């Protein structure tokens, strides 16, 4: 993905709205529990995310919907060759925790999160695998 293709996608209104809703809801959920494990006693572990600089966060329906919207919109913009929903979701969670831990405005966090998603999509990887169907003659080498 080239820089020319990334710039218009960074200005996608729908993607920006989902990102803003996601980060805002994530921060509100983190503040409601204050990171104290006692506040989450009796809750399912499936709905709690910990291990980041933002502490413990209860994943509410609002967070899940906003994150899902963000992930699906980003994957749609990236197309099937570059969009990987799990990677986009993990980038979102990491940036949400960074947003909670930092003091910056939500717009800066939204821009950084969207930029990270598009940069990840632009990354290239090389994979070399052995070909067991071909056997070289040791005497010829």
Evaluate if residue 18 carries a pLDDT over 80: yes
pLDDT attached to residue 135? 72
- As a three-state string, the secondary structure of the chain is CCHHHHHHHHCCHHHHHHHHHHHHHHHHHHHHHCCCHHHHCCCCHHHEEEEECCEEEECCHHHHHHHHHHHHHHHHHHHHHHCCHHHHHHHHHHHHHHHHHCCCCHHHHHHHHHHHHHHHHHCCCCCCCCCCCCCCCCCCC
Q: What is the pLDDT of residues 32-82, one digit of tens each?
A: 655 555 555 655 544 555 556 767 777 888 899 999 999 999 988 888 666
pLDDT attached to residue 80? 67
Query: Hey, which of 9-13, 90-94, 127-131 has the most confident mean pLDDT?
Result: 90-94
Angle between helices 106-122 and 13-33 (to 10 degrees): 120
C-alpha span between 109 and 102 (Å, rounded): 9
pTM for the predicted model, two decimal places: 0.72
pLDDT attached to residue 47? 52
pLDDT attached to residue 43? 57
Q: What is the pLDDT of residues 73-109, one digit of tens each?
A: 998 888 866 668 888 999 999 999 889 888 789 999 9
pLDDT attached to residue 45? 47
In order of 15, 31, 57, 80, 119, the CA distances from 39 in angstroms are: 32, 11, 10, 40, 37
């Amino acid at each position: 993905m080239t820089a020319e293709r990334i710039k218009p996608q960074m200005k996608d209104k729908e993607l920006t709205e989902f990102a803003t809703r996601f980060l805002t809801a994530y921060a509100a959920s983190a503040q409601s529990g204050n990171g104290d494990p006692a506040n989450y006693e009796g809750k399912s572990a499936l709905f709690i995310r910990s291990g980041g600089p933002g502490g413990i966060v209860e994943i509410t329906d609002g967070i899940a919907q906003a994150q899902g919207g963000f992930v699906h919109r980003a994957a749609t913009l990236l197309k099937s060759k570059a969009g990987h929903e799990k990677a986009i979701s993990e980038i979102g969670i990491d940036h949400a925790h960074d947003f909670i831990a930092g003091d910056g405005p939500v717009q800066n966090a939204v821009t950084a999160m969207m930029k990270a998603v598009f940069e990840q999509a632009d990354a290239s990887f090389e994979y070399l695998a052995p070909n067991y169907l071909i056997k070289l003659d040791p005497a010829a080498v």
